[in-house]
């Protein structure tokens, strides 16, 4: 059987993901397939909060930390934002009750807690979450969303960070404004999660070449801004080149393995995760849960070729090693372990 080129494989995966996103009927049907649900559990804790807590405990046993995300975004109705904020408050209570404070924190999107309804309403809901989180010693990361929300997100973090030192921010290296946004958060003394970025953005505001400009900007931010600040930061990437260069930069800036953390998606590149743990580096996994798991999965795949490649690469290996299903012909550059 002839090999499918990497470019064609990516195109097939992203086109299928985009088609399903645009058609609610097939999307619902696809989500009901037992195999689809089973495979999603490699990367998503489950539909219930208890699933996320279970995964957090499992990862703790492996020496890994987690940040838990309740799936959902672009909330338009105030009542839904109220409900999402309530879920996060219950999650904070669960993290505290299960004595996971030193191993688990949470990540949320401002559109989940009412940013589309109004900035004032969003600040009110986020403040409720942060007050409880601070009381229970739980850290809260505010995820960065698409570019139309970037400035609003930074402003809200700037407004609330002085009151809530448990509030952390996320910056996407693909954005051409990322350097100035990093500077604004560092001025607050805030911990930053630096990632490449998962949204499709136009070339006038975002770098387009993930192995070129985005990599270069990512490492420039680490070298010139994050590591010199001596603040504990999160380096969120599956890119092995960036990981190796980050380790070199940590040595250059005389940082130890405990002075920063790597962050990765739950279930992706598990071998690399385990290798970082063996090398004594701090590692935090992004663990999503909720009923909206399939839209999350499809958006990750359709908008980010690197993640599509990582998911495919990892899934092929899992199917081979755990279920004896050989699909290596789909990936011409992938060699599985013997």
Q: Provide the 3-class DSSP secondary structure of residue 253.
A: coil
β-pairing verdict for 65-70 and 282-289: parallel
Q: Could you confirm whether 193 is annotated as catalytic? A: yes
Q: Could you confirm whether 84 is annotated as catalytic? A: no
Cβ atoms 79, 317 nearer than 8 A:
no
The tokens for 72 are 């959902």
* Listed residue (105, 62, 53, 65) closest to 263, CA to CA: 65
Return the biggest CA–CA distance within the chain: 61
Catalytic residue among 161, 168, 193, 215: 193
| Residue 266: burial class (beta carbons within 10 Å; 0-12, 13-18, 19+) | buried
Give residues with Cβ within 8 angstroms of 151, minimum separation 6. Answer: none
- What region, left, alpha or beta, does residue 260 occupy, with left being phi > 0 and alpha being psi -120 to 50 degrees? beta
Catalytic residue among 69, 84, 105, 143: 143
| Residue 262: burial class (beta carbons within 10 Å; 0-12, 13-18, 19+) | buried
Question: Residue 107: enclosing H or E segment and its boundaries?
Answer: strand 104-109
Question: What is the Cα–Cα distance from 200 to 206, expressed in whole angstroms?
Answer: 9
Cβ atoms 112, 142 nearer than 8 A:
no
DSSP 148: G
What does residue 248 show for φ and ψ, rounded to 5 degrees?
A: -65, -40
Q: What is the set of active-site residues? A: 143, 193
């Amino acid at each position: 059987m002839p090999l499918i080129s990497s470019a064609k494989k990516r195109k097939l995966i992203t086109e299928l993901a985009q088609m399903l996103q645009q058609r609610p009927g097939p999307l619902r049907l696809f989500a009901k397939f037992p195999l689809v649900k089973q495979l999603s559990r490699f990367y998503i804790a489950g539909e219930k909060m208890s699933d996320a807590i279970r995964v957090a405990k499992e990862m703790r046993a492996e020496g890994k930390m987690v940040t838990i995300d309740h799936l959902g975004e672009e909330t338009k109705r105030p009542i839904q934002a109220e409900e999402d904020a309530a879920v996060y408050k219950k999650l904070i209570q669960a993290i505290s009750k299960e004595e996971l404070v030193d191993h688990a924190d949470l990540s949320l999107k401002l559109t989940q807690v009412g940013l589309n309804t109004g900035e004032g309403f969003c600040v009110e809901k986020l403040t409720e979450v942060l007050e409880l989180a601070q009381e229970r010693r739980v850290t809260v990361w505010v995820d960065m969303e698409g570019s139309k929300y970037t400035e609003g997100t930074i402003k809200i973090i700037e407004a609330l960070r002085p009151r809530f030192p448990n509030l952390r921010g996320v910056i996407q290296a693909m954005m051409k404004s990322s350097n100035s946004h990093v500077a604004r958060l560092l001025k607050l003394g805030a911990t930053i999660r630096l990632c490449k970025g998962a949204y499709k953005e136009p070339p006038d505001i975002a770098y387009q070449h993930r192995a070129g400009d985005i990599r270069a900007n990512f490492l420039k931010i680490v070298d010139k801004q994050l590591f010199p600040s001596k603040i504990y930061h999160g380096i969120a990437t599956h890119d092995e080149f960036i990981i190796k260069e980050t380790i070199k930069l940590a040595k250059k800036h005389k940082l130890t393995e405990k002075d920063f953390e790597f962050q990765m998606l739950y279930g992706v590149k598990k071998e690399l995760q385990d290798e970082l743990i063996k090398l004594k580096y701090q590692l935090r996994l992004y663990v999503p849960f909720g009923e909206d798991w399939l839209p999350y999965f499809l958006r990750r795949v359709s908008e980010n070729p690197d993640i599509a490649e990582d998911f495919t690469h990892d899934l092929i290996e899992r199917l081979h090693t755990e279920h004896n299903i050989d699909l290596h012909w789909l990936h011409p550059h992938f060699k599985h372990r013997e």
